[in-house]
A = this chain, B = another copy of it.
């Protein structure tokens, strides 16, 4: 059976109908894009990448306690929400990116892979790598099985995700579009080397930037998009508007028992309305975790949770 972790219902049916109506489409046009945080893996209580950055900060602080003197680091280490809000998330994020300044892509990738594979999720008590959604893995596989190229288009760091994109999702690193740091090219003894900087390369990959970056990095227009938050709005609209064939799928976090219950409220990047209202207004398909998924996380048996 296809999509074993998807219960009978509107979401599953919409996916199957989408595959029916695109079965004769040229293979070049079979392009599917997925947001990552909250769409392919869990983003609560924190973005996994934020946990990774904070973990790195704590490690570094053991050797260099003076790091806590930097206001951004101090606020994060103390968990001082007020100070963090005052500094602003962008400044804090850039300070955390700065921890990896000078690393080669391979060094960063190794460290990211090690964290995602081994570090333990604070609420669920399993490695972060197990916090991926089984129904979405099945959907990725099914789309590829039907000749689709599958890409990940994330607001998070491209390199963080690339470290595990193949093993977790079957997507090659070149199929990952995300926020990027700029690199510096230098010639060293063994040959040329790239080093990470603390500067961003291009915009943060959210909102309309996701659509521009799909064109810049992939050069193809998606006819399928999956997302879960305001920052995915434009990408979902873009896929849905394709010749009447497109499908926009919104993952709704409405399952406090098995995952979390929260809804994006169209922050910086889209109209100020609850994302489920946006979905209704624009005719997106909503996948309710509670209703539509018989299992949530990979590695669990979907059969045991009917």
Residues of A at the B interface (CB closer than 8 Å) are 28, 105-106, 149, 151, 158-159, 162, 166, 172-176, 180, 182-185, 187, 190-192, 194, 201-202, 208, 211-212, 215-221, 234, 237-238, 240-241
| Residue in A151, A175, A184, A201 whose Cβ sees the most chain B Cβ within 10 Å | A201
> Which among B172, B175, B190, B201 is the interface contact of A216 at CB below 8 angstroms?
B201
Question: Are B215 and A105 in touch, CB under 8 angstroms?
Answer: yes
Question: Are B238 and A192 in touch, CB under 8 angstroms?
Answer: yes
In chain B, what residue has the closest Cβ to A186? B208
Q: Which residues of B contact A187 (CB under 8 A)?
A: 237
Closest 9 CB pairs of A and B: A191-B241, A173-B219, A185-B208, A174-B218, A162-B219, A183-B212, A192-B237, A192-B238, A180-B216
Question: Are A194 and B215 in touch, CB under 8 angstroms?
Answer: yes
In chain B, what residue has the closest Cβ to A163? B219
Question: Are A174 and B217 in touch, CB under 8 angstroms?
Answer: yes
Q: Which residues of B contact A162 (CB under 8 A)?
A: 219
Question: Are B234 and A211 in touch, CB under 8 angstroms?
Answer: no
Q: Smallest CB–CB gap between A52 and chain B, Å? A: 17
Q: Which residues of B contact A183 (CB under 8 A)?
A: 211-212, 215-216
In chain B, what residue has the closest Cβ to A106? B221
Given contacts A151-B174, A218-B174, A220-B174, contact A234 B185 (CB under 8 A): yes
In chain B, what residue has the closest Cβ to A190? B241
Q: Which residues of B contact A151 (CB under 8 A)?
A: 174
Question: Are A174 and B241 in touch, CB under 8 angstroms?
Answer: no
A–B pairs, 11, beta carbons within 8 Å: A159-B219, A162-B219, A173-B218, A174-B174, A174-B218, A174-B219, A180-B216, A183-B216, A184-B212, A191-B240, A192-B211
